[in-house]
Amino acid sequence: MIPAPPLPARALGPLAVSAIGLGCMNLSHAYGEKPDEAAAVRLLNHALDRGITLLDTAALYGFGANEELIGRAVGHRRADYVLASKCVLDSVDGKRGLDGSPAAITACLDRALGRLNTDHIDLYYLHRLDARVPIEDSVGALVRAVEAGKIGSIGLSEMSAATIRRAHAVHPVAAVQSEYSPIVRNPDVAVLDACAELGIGFVAFSPVCRGLLAGAVRSDDYAPGDLRLTLPRFTGDNLRHNLAAVAAWDRLAAEHDCTPGQLAIAWVLARAPHIVPIPGTRSITHLDDLLGGLSVRLDPGAMARIDAIFAPGAVRGARYPAAAQAQIDTELLPHEELAA
């Protein structure tokens, strides 16, 4: 097979990665019944064959199953990608738990290294802020992991600009990860500017808004166990309202001779040069489609039209249910709707 040409590169602090990475969560977690392993292995290897050089996982995803999958599927190609994983959110007695203590972080990392069948993770994130533990203490545990050679760089996920600055004062942060798409704009409040100022890369998860901006959501008839059943903006009257804005989005994509998913990827890439989107998918066809977003160019007029489509009030429903939102440190938007 003729190797694919390399994808454009972007920087996450000291790390050079493909301009689009792959979020691996939904191969093991959150979207109903997971695909069979053979299909997941094919997708992961196809991503590398296409030139993707950033794979993103976490201890939480499948309670370790996603890390194990990556170790089995592409561990033999370890030199081909930057490996990112996360701690703090983990399995506690078989349930989702939050623990940012240094001891818990160290234990989580050691388990991750075993599951991934590697002695080094390139980028290791604090998955959420544990408000019971000073961020300096949590980052300190990762500093010791850097010194021990277990990880290469430190990342933060869903944290505010103020928390990022405190963490960065302890040790340089390579990347901050948060949800970001034409619908979810919270990082615009302060995080993107803080990252640009401090030389930190920004990793945008759910850049196609969990399928809503990629033609994959037209009703709330999700499979049992699908995370979107718990997200207020993806169900009931909220979703029916939101699909009106999505219809305008789809028309704009058609005008640009691209798919809706490609338009979303192009928008995220156009927002700033230090942003790397990491869409997740179980489909090789969908992955190839999203990579086509690299070729879509959006002029200021198109960017303004997208702002108008998703102006405040165009999308109803909170981003997360209340319990999950309580673990989010990222700034809220003015008048952002929160679940009761």
Active site residues: 61
CA distance 104 to 132: 13
Please give the structure tokens belonging to residue 197: 């100022």
Phi, psi of 55 (to 5 degrees): -115, 130
Q: Give the number of residues written for the chain.
A: 340
The label of the residue with tokens 């305008």 reads: 248
